[in-house]
């Protein structure tokens, strides 16, 4: 595997990198995937996927008992040739999450040995901790199931529907699972492909490198929507699909055997997330990508009130988390814990966050 995007970086920056990347992915053009240094390989990403572990979760209105914040933030010091695409993929993040957490950092040429934040800590959505939950604006999938003695959660980043092909809010069940699925192209998408690329196929065989479904697909009771891998991994953390949920290939390979047919699930839309751990209250806020939640601070206040935690939350800290929208779990508890090393937005990360290996 070659290093990612180094050959295209200068042109991308000149033309508006985000718009160009999104266009390339949405029309099925693969991004360049590496340089001659060979720092990242597909085996690196596969090894990363196998290290994914479950987190214990506890749903409770008592913040001393609740465990609705999982993971921990980390730091990473970029090396020569690193891009946000590779770093995000290796550390189980979507491109969007790494970009939000590190405003002002060049995603194609991050400064070497200057710490960037890995936002590998997540506030769980307000939903039953059962089966599959995809939080659309967060672009993240959670899978909840019973562990040996407790409820546990797994989580992976995803790519979702473009603005004109929005992933819907809905409940569903898993109705089937397919290895090397054939892509029978819906007529509406086929017309788009003809207009944009001149491609007129009605189907793409399973196992084809041109098949956007990847190697594994989970079929849902929602018509036209599914959860699947991808032939273009860099679309994870971006709005590039026609509404389906895309995972990194190695993540889909891990998720696929876990999910029994009949599993319950839902797509939720929650740009504001409020949770608790060890009596501390955390807020995680992401952009309202489909513009469905006007007044994010009002929404944050509503959630805090519904949980009965208003007297515990510092309104200024909560407002700052909403204004920043960095996708980082921020401690918004009214009085910081004594000797608390968990970072707030004001803290410099290098002295407070754990360095990634």
Enumerate the active-site residues: 228, 244
Token pair 């590496």 is found at: 34
Token duo for residue 240:
């590039």
Distance CA 83, CA 35 (A): 11
CA 350 to chain centre: 24
Token duo for residue 133:
């939950």
Token duo for residue 161:
């529907």
3-state percent helix, strand, coil for the chain, nearest multiple of 5: 25, 25, 50
Write the DSSP string, 14-35: HH-HHHHHHHHHHTTPPPPEE-
Say whether 3 sits in a helix, a strand or coil. Answer: strand
Distance CA 329, CA 344 (A): 9
Tell which residue, 340, 355, 138, has the closest CA to residue 245.
138
Helical spans, DSSP H, in the chain: 9-15, 17-26, 42-50, 84-90, 95-101, 187-197, 249-255, 296-307, 315-324
Pair 204, 211: CB distance under 8 Å = yes
- CA distances to 14, 39, 232, 268, 280 from 66, rounded to whole Å, are 47, 41, 38, 21, 9
Distance CA 319, CA 289 (A): 19
Distance CA 210, CA 219 (A): 20
Q: Identify the bridge partners of residue 246 per DSSP, sorted by sequence position.
A: 159, 228
Question: In terms of DSSP bridges, do strands 226-228 and 245-246 run parallel, antiparallel, or are they unpaired?
Answer: parallel
């Amino acid at each position: 595997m070659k290093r990612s995007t180094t050959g295209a970086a200068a042109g991308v920056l000149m033309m508006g990198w985000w718009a160009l990347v999104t266009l390339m992915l949405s029309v099925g053009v693969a991004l360049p995937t590496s340089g001659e240094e060979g720092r990242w390989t597909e085996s690196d990403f596969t090894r990363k996927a196998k290290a994914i572990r479950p987190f214990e979760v506890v749903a409770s209105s008592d913040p001393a008992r609740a465990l609705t914040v999982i993971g921990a933030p980390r730091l990473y010091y970029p090396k020569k040739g690193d891009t946000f695409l590779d770093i995000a993929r290796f550390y189980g993040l979507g491109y969007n999450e790494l970009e939000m957490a590190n405003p002002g950092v060049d995603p194609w040429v991050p400064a070497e040995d200057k710490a960037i934040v890995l936002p590998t800590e997540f506030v769980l959505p307000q939903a039953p901790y059962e089966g599959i939950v995809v939080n659309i604006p967060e672009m993240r999938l959670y899978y909840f199931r019973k562990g040996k003695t407790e409820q546990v959660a797994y989580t992976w980043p995803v790519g979702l529907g473009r603005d004109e092909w929005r992933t819907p809010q809905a409940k569903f069940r898993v109705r089937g699972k397919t290895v090397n699925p054939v892509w029978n192209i819906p007529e509406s998408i086929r017309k788009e492909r003809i207009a944009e690329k001149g491609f007129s196929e009605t189907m793409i065989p399973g196992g084809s490198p041109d098949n956007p479904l990847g190697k594994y697909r989970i079929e849902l009771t929602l018509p036209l929507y599914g959860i699947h891998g991808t032939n273009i991994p860099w679309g994870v953390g971006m709005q590039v699909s026609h509404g389906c949920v895309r995972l990194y290939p190695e993540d889909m390979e891990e998720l696929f055997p876990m999910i029994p047919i009949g599993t319950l699930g839902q797509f939720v839309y929650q740009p504001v997330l409020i949770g608790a751990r060890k009596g501390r209250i955390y807020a995680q806020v992401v952009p309202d990508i489909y513009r469905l939640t006007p007044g994010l601070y009002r929404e944050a206040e509503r959630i805090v009130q519904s949980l009965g935690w208003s007297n515990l939350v510092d309104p200024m800290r909560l407002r700052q988390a909403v204004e920043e929208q960095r996708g980082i779990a921020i401690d918004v508890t009214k009085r910081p814990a004594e000797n608390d090393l968990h970072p707030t937005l004001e803290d410099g990360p290098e002295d407070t966050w754990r360095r990634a290996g």
